[in-house]
Structure 1
Amino acid sequence: MHTSKPALLALAAGLGLAAPAQAASADSALGTWRTPSKNGTIEISRCGASICGRLVSSDNLKKNPNLRDVNNNDEAKRDRKLQGLQIIGGFEKNGDKWEKGSIYNPEDGGTYKATISLEGPDTLKLKGCIVWPLCKTQTWTRID
């Protein structure tokens, strides 16, 4: 029995074996995301060819919107307001991931290497590393 290539490709696609029809676009990570800790809300937007994210809200900011960056390792930055503070940035697009970026953690004042990947239209994985392999991955959920 002879089967044509188009027929085989159609069969593979029908069985879900073909590559996804639409890869994650460079703008898929844009939007507003909820973090798993303290109901953090992060807004990710374009920053030139990269993406960056600002802290919009959290449980602590709801209680006190004037919280400052008191744990920053740089003493000169400790008076910055946390609300609206850019906490992720410097990423480079690599296929369906954003790599070589960083995330700032206001709770400990540290900045960590980070990678962002999308697990679906409403699920983002952010991996932050002190040094590899000392990494932690969080799952963020789209809220807009």
Structure 2
Amino acid sequence: MQFAQQARTLAVRTVRHAALAGVLLASAVTAMAQTDTPAGTWQTIDDSTGQPKALVQITQDSNGLFDGKVIKGLGANNQPDRRCSACTDARKDQLILGMTIINDMQKDGDGWDHGQILDPENGKVYKCKMHLEDGGNKLVVRGYIGVSLLGRSQTWVRQQ
């Protein structure tokens, strides 16, 4: 009788451990999926002050292309009525909040390339490339004219 009870206890513990292992594995797979792609929410940093500037949400469309839009201004940029007065394209005088500033990024080797990024501060549109660092927690975004040597990079931080 005692042996049967010990076997039953061991079986229950084994099932619990297996269930816990399954939950942990699923969490790890989800975390990995979120960190091997630029999809997610990113905190941008102001080049001149080093302070958080905005939150940009990057999403993947049905064609596998990535776009990013401003979902929140931070600090001095937290002005919902702020407009892109310097823009020269269809975004001229449009609200920056909700504006798509990254277009058509596509997977290219270890990064994403062949897209464009708008700098709402000066209204200019640049070619763009980006890659992940720090286990997918940082996104290095480079805007450039012509060749990528002629540009600047920003490191954005993934938000959970």
Distance 2:39 2:80 in 1: 24
Q: Is the partner of 1:29 in helix, strand or coil?
A: coil
1:114 is displaced (CA, Å) by 0.5
Contact 1:98 1:115 in 2 (8 A): yes
Larger Rg: 2
Match of 1:28 in 2: 37
User: Cα gap change, 1:97/1:25 in structure 2, threshold over 3 Å: closer, same or farther?
Assistant: farther
Distance 1:57 1:138 in 2: 18
Distance 2:91 2:57 in 1: 21
Which residue of 61, 64, 68 corresponds with 2:83? 68
Match of 1:123 in 2: 138
Match of 2:155 in 1: 139
Which residue of 28, 45, 62 corresponds with 2:59? 45
Once the two structures are superposed, what CA deviation does each residue of 1:4-46 show, in whole Å capped at 9, x if it has no partner? Answer: xxxxxxxxxxxxxxxxxxxx86962111001111522111011
Once the two structures are superposed, what CA deviation does each residue of 1:61-104 show, in whole Å capped at 9, x if it has no partner? Answer: 42x20111211123x53231110100001112112211111100
Contact 2:67 2:100 in 1 (8 A): yes
Contact 1:61 1:83 in 2 (8 A): no
Contact 2:72 2:97 in 1 (8 A): yes
Contact 2:53 2:77 in 1 (8 A): no
Q: Is the partner of 1:91 in helix, strand or coil?
A: strand
Distance 2:146 2:83 in 1: 27
Q: Which runs of 4+ in 1 moved over 3 A?
A: 24-27
Once the two structures are superposed, what CA deviation does each residue of 1:118-144 show, in whole Å capped at 9, x if it has no partner? Answer: 112211111110222211111111012
> What amino acid sits opposite 2:150 in the alignment?
L
Give the alignment's TM-score, normalised by structure 2: 0.67
Report the RMSD for the aligned CA atoms in angstroms: 2.0
Q: Which moved more, 1:102-111 or 1:47-56?
A: 47-56
Distance 2:154 2:111 in 1: 15
Q: Give 1 or 2: higher helix fraction.
A: 2
> What amino acid sits opposite 1:82 in the alignment?
I
Unaligned runs of 5+ in 1: 1-23
Instruction: Tell me the percent identity.
Output: 31
Distance 1:86 1:60 in 2: 20
Unaligned runs of 5+ in 2: 1-31, 47-51
